[in-house]
């Protein structure tokens, strides 16, 4: 099937009720899975929830399991460049042709659920994607599925699976208009992935969040493995291209582990991933060689990803204050940009002012722009006004598109000399649009001529 046919299929699928509109129920995806024969019960599931770090923690879990010789399915969201990134088997996105065929196979069942009008709406985009992922993993078949929660946890579509291991990444304020206005309320929703008899592997949390998780585990009879007790980050040394970490697991300390991503938050994610895999193994230690091989194989697109040199352009998908703080701390530790020029686009429903205040601590100039692929994006003029109120008009530049903003930022960096660098951040959607301009499909950087061609 041609790329144009795939694009048409994707467009039709994305025309369904989108991810940012929530129908808080698992009833529709339960109905689809029932028609498919409950594929989500064909393999053990490690489910990953939290505010920040879900995606990279899931990747790290996947890589460690693959290094142990297991066949692994991973479901993640959102995607950066193509829907197929959301369904990975053995570390690779499902082929476009297979995705299209899979959707064709399941389409009659989707239509049957749509016809039921459960809660008055047809299946949402995310519900369909979740059903396709569970079907693909059963068909493969995989030995284990690593499933990233889309939003919340309790009523998220992924929660139709009963995960044997529930991983809770750091919880903070985000999606407050949906999940609740306090950390405790948000934690209550996310702790819904902890099921009876499961193991909850929990990152360090604020006290009010930890209390909610402990209460949930007591309610359902789940065992807790907490950071600092069952697993831990003992030490880390930043280096070129990432860091060297020393972790504590069930078998004791393991050092000299190469982790090719930046920042303390990533090192803590690695410790959490180790705890998750060991919980999956019933408390047995991960072999040291598999742990080393798995972590060294980690790649994290759009997480402080260097996508171009001369000037250096770094891409990150942070979009809330908690994530922005982790990103900027890691950037300051790992890069020495003088000056740092920011290219920023954000969704209108995010804490825009909170994120910009953190960016402003290091960004000498903020190039404000807007995304083209969704109407959720904040208009550039509105974003620029907010930024100017924080840093002053003389430090704010506006550009109508991501491509234009990159061009402006590169010109500013070239004028400032060899020490200048560019950070593109503020939105997953913006990161995806920028990555499409700056990174070829085979993974190489786009040069200046390529970017100019894209701009035309």
pLDDT digits (tens, 9 = 90+) for 197-216: 999 999 999 999 999 999 99
Per the structure, the complete domain to which residue 57 belongs is given by 3-296
288 and 363 in a single domain? The answer is: no
The arithmetic mean of pLDDT across residues 225-248, rounded, is: 96
211 and 71 in a single domain? The answer is: yes
Q: Angle at CA 255, nearest 5°, toward 236 and 73?
A: 90
Q: What is the pLDDT of residues 136-157, one digit of tens each?
A: 999 999 999 999 999 888 989 9
18 and 80 in a single domain? The answer is: yes
210 and 289 in a single domain? The answer is: yes
Side by side, which strands form the sheet with 232-239? 232-239, 242-249, 252-259
- Average pLDDT score over the chain: 92
Domain boundary among 296, 314, 332: 296
Q: Which burial class, exposed, middle or buried, applies to 196 when counting CB atoms under 10 A from its CB (0-12, 13-18, 19+)?
A: exposed
177 and 318 in a single domain? The answer is: no
Specify the DSSP element, H or E, that contains 330: helix 321-334
387 and 263 in a single domain? The answer is: no
Cα 444 to Cα 45, 414, 451, distances in angstroms: 33, 22, 13
225 and 331 in a single domain? The answer is: no
Looking at residue 221, which CATH number applies to its domain?
Answer: 3.40.1190.10
342 and 291 in a single domain? The answer is: no
Number of domains in the chain: 2
- What's the confidence (pLDDT) of residue 176? 59
165 and 98 in a single domain? The answer is: yes
- What's the confidence (pLDDT) of residue 444? 47
75 and 45 in a single domain? The answer is: yes
Domain boundary among 296, 317, 340: 296
- What's the confidence (pLDDT) of residue 269? 98
Taking the C-alpha atoms of residue 430 and residue 151, their distance in angstroms, rounded to an integer, is 19
98 and 163 in a single domain? The answer is: yes
Looking at residue 363, which CATH number applies to its domain?
Answer: 3.90.190.20
Domain boundary among 243, 275, 296: 296
Q: What is the pLDDT of residues 106-134, one digit of tens each?
A: 999 999 999 999 999 999 999 999 999 99
382 and 253 in a single domain? The answer is: no
């Amino acid at each position: 099937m041609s790329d144009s046919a795939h694009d048409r299929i994707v467009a039709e699928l994305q025309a369904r009720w989108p991810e940012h509109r929530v129908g808080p129920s698992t009833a529709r995806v339960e109905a689809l899975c029932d028609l498919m024969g409950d594929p989500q019960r064909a393999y053990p599931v490690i489910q990953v929830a939290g505010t920040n770090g879900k995606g990279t923690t899931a990747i790290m879990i996947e890589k460690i399991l693959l290094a142990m010789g297991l066949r692994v399915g991973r479901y993640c969201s959102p995607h950066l460049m193509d829907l197929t990134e959301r369904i990975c088997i053995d570390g690779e996105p499902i082929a476009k042709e297979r995705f299209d065929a899979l959707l064709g196979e399941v389409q009659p069942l989707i239509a049957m659920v749509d016809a039921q009008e459960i809660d008055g709406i047809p299946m949402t985009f995310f519900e369909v994607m979740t059903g396709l992922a569970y079907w693909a993993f059963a068909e493969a078949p995989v030995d284990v599925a690593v499933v990233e929660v889309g939003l919340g946890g309790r009523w998220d579509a992924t929660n139709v699976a009963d995960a044997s291991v529930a991983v809770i990444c750091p919880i903070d304020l985000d999606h407050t208009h949906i999940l609740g206005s306090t950390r405790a309320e948000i934690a209550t929703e996310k702790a819904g992935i902890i099921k009876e008899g499961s193991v909850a592997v929990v990152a360090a949390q604020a006290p009010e969040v930890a209390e909610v998780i402990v209460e949930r585990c007591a309610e359902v009879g789940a065992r807790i493995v907490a950071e600092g007790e069952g697993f831990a980050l003992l030490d880390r040394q930043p280096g070129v291209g990432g860091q060297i970490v020393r972790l504590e697991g069930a078998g004791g300390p393991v050092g000299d582990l190469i982790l090719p991503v930046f920042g303390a938050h990533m090192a803590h994610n690695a410790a959490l991933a180790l705890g998750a895999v060991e919980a999956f193994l019933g408390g047995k230690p991960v072999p040291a060689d598999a742990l080393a091989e798995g972590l060294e194989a980690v790649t994290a697109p759009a997480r402080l990803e260097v996508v171009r040199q001369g000037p250096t352009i770094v891409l990150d998908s942070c979009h809330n204050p908690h994530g922005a703080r982790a990103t900027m701390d890691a950037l300051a530790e790992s890069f020495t940009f003088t000056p740092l020029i920011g290219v920023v686009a954000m969704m209108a429903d995010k804490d825009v002012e909170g994120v910009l205040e953190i960016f402003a601590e290091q960004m000498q100039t903020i190039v404000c722009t807007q995304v083209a692929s969704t109407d959720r994006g904040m208009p550039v003029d509105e974003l620029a006004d907010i930024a100017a109120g924080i840093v002053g008009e003389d430090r704010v530049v506006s550009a109508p598109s991501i491509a234009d903003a990159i061009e402006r930022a590169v010109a500013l960096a070239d004028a400032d000399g060899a020490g200048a660098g560019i950070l593109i951040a503020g939105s997953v959607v913006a990161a995806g649009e920028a990555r499409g301009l700056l990174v070829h499909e085979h993974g190489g950087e786009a040069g200046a001529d390529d970017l100019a061609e894209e701009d035309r």
